[in-house]
Structure 1
Amino acid sequence: MTQLPTCHAIARKGHAADATLTVTLSYEDRFLRRKVLTADSGEAFLVDLAHTESLDQDDAFLLGDGRAVRVLAAAEPLLAVSGADLPRLAWHVGNRHTPCQIEAARLLIQRDHVIRDMLARIGAEVTEVTEPFTPEGGAYGHGRTHGHDHSHSHGPAPVQAHAHAHAHSHSHGQDHGHSHGHDHPHDH
């Protein structure tokens, strides 16, 4: 059995060596730690990173043999969102923790009929497109929301009915977790 070229490191856009190969991956497939990938040329290679990484268009996998494989964003089914009040529409998308590619005249999001219907109800023009998806990374890192479950209210509530706990738990193939909040009684 032939051993595959292996990647243990990545180079971010602008810091990548001259790539001799490319690999075209969807947004979901650009979130990985260990996986066999096939370059666009047909050559297989093993990605074996220390931690789960979110890769962007023009990042590169650095192979142990000195070659680099440039990452290209695959065309995938998306929704193009536009309208007279694009900042307001962007707020509604962000409020749902939905990955979003922000452009001057439109937003691109993954196809989701619930989000589509909500946006149409508030006046957005929503069109199905097939394009590469390169959403914003988020203010606190990669911005990925896999397995990120939380519950909280986004509207006003009576003073007598409020809670102060807000916990997060997520897993990306690593053993870690965290929570934020406090637990103490409130007398009203």
Structure 2
Amino acid sequence: MLTATKLLPRAPLQAHDLVVLDYDARLIRRRRLATVQGTAFLVDLPSLTNLDDHWGFELSDGTRVQVVAAEEDLIQITGDLPRLAWHIGNRHTPCQIEPDRLLIRRDPVIEAMLVRQGATLRPVSEPFTPEGGAYGIGRTMGHSHGPADHGHGHSHDHFHPHPHP
């Protein structure tokens, strides 16, 4: 089986194939993937990686495979966007922020809360690329306000390969 030998941070001059992944599948460490043309390959990265921060892979045979965000069932949110974004963020829900709308994955509880806040909701199907982590890399995968928050002494911080200033 082919293996991914390089994670590509930028688009090369030519892509040979595509792999289409939803939001959850774009968070990867080790997994077998298949391209749209049916080529299977193994990804074995040193740590959990958000593929939204990367362009694609170079395989052991030299093939370059572009990562493309799959269409997903989402909710388009319009209304008082700053206030609605605050409520979505307060619930640690991944959110794609655009000038005239917000997008989240389908969640009946969050949807009901947003309607109570005066939002207008519309189902859409499109790629989901929510806002990343607060430090400009990776995903928002939880946080810690300190051990008193959860009654235990460990953090829920997300992993990323750089120190915080």
Q: Using the TM superposition, give the Cα deviation of residue 165 of structure 1 relative to its aligned residue in structure 2, in angstroms.
A: 2.5
Counterpart check, 1:169 vs 2:164: no
* 2:48 pairs with one of 47, 52, 76: 52
Structure of higher RCO (CA pairs closer than 8 Å, 6+ residues apart): 2
**Cα distance change of structure 1 residues 57 and 165 upon mapping to structure 2, 3 Å threshold:** closer
Counterpart check, 1:128 vs 2:115: no
Q: Show the counterpart of 1:181.
A: none
Q: Give the total of aligned pairs.
A: 153
The Cα offsets for residues 49-75 of structure 1, whole Å up to 9 and x where unpaired, read as 111111128711121222211011001
Q: List structure 1 segments (4+ residues) > 3 angstroms apart after TM superposition.
A: 169-172
> What SS does the aligned partner of 2:48 have?
strand
> What SS does the aligned partner of 1:138 have?
coil
Q: Show the counterpart of 2:86.
A: 91
Counterpart check, 1:101 vs 2:101: no
> What SS does the aligned partner of 2:109 have?
helix
Separation in 2 of the partners of 1:57 and 1:19? Answer: 17
> What SS does the aligned partner of 2:112 have?
helix
> What SS does the aligned partner of 2:15 have?
coil
> What SS does the aligned partner of 2:36 have?
coil
Task: Look at both structures and tell me which one has the larger radius of gyration over its CA atoms.
Answer: 1
The Cα offsets for residues 12-43 of structure 1, whole Å up to 9 and x where unpaired, read as 2xx23232110100000111111111101111
Q: Using the TM superposition, give the Cα deviation of residue 8 of structure 1 relative to its aligned residue in structure 2, in angstroms.
A: 3.5
Q: Show the counterpart of 1:75.
A: 71
**Cα distance change of structure 1 residues 133 and 57 upon mapping to structure 2, 3 Å threshold:** farther
Counterpart check, 1:10 vs 2:1: no
Unpaired segments ≥5 residues, structure 2: 160-165
* Alignment map for 1:22-41 (pairs within 5 Å): 22-41=18-37
* 1:142 pairs with one of 129, 132, 138: 138
Separation in 1 of the partners of 2:139 and 2:53? Answer: 15
Q: Is the 8 A contact 2:22 2:72 kept in 1?
A: yes
Q: Using the TM superposition, give the Cα deviation of residue 170 of structure 1 relative to its aligned residue in structure 2, in angstroms.
A: 6.7
What's the % identity of the aligned pairs? 48
Unpaired segments ≥5 residues, structure 1: 153-162, 173-188
> What SS does the aligned partner of 2:113 have?
helix
Counterpart check, 1:118 vs 2:113: yes
**Cα distance change of structure 1 residues 69 and 129 upon mapping to structure 2, 3 Å threshold:** same
Higher mean alpha-carbon deviation, 33-42 vs 49-58, is at 49-58
- TM normalised by structure 2 equals 0.83
> What SS does the aligned partner of 1:35 have?
strand
RMSD: 2.3
